[in-house]
């Protein structure tokens, strides 16, 4: 997320996207989380709690 350089005070700049782009992004993130929580659970756990 980008911040407007013109004194926005840390307010994120609005990034208009199409419904299709938002859905594609959501679909990819969802698929990644499902994979991490099912088939890659050991690797995912190590990244979250390496100690």
- Residues facing 3 on adjacent strands: 12
In the predicted structure, residue 51 carries a pLDDT above the cut 80: no
Q: In the block, which residue shows the tokens 């390496």?
A: 50
Contact partners, residue 13, CB within 8 Å, separation at least 6: 1, 2, 3, 4
> How many domains does the chain contain in total?
1
Q: Which two tokens stand for residue 26?
A: 């959501």
Question: Residue 30: what pLDDT?
Answer: 96
Give a yes or no: residue 36 inside a domain.
yes
Residue 33 domain flag? yes
- The reply to whether 15 falls in a domain is no
Tell me: the pLDDT tens digits for 4-50? 455 556 767 767 789 999 999 999 999 999 988 889 888 888 888 86
pTM above the 0.85 mark? no
| 15 φ, ψ (degrees, to nearest 5) | -120, 95
Instruction: Domain of residue 34: give its range.
Output: 20-48
């Amino acid at each position: 997320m980008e911040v407007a350089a013109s004194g926005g005070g840390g307010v994120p700049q609005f990034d208009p996207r199409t419904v299709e782009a938002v859905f594609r992004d959501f679909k990819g993130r969802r698929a990644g989380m499902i994979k991490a929580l099912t088939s890659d659970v050991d690797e995912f756990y190590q990244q979250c709690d390496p100690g």
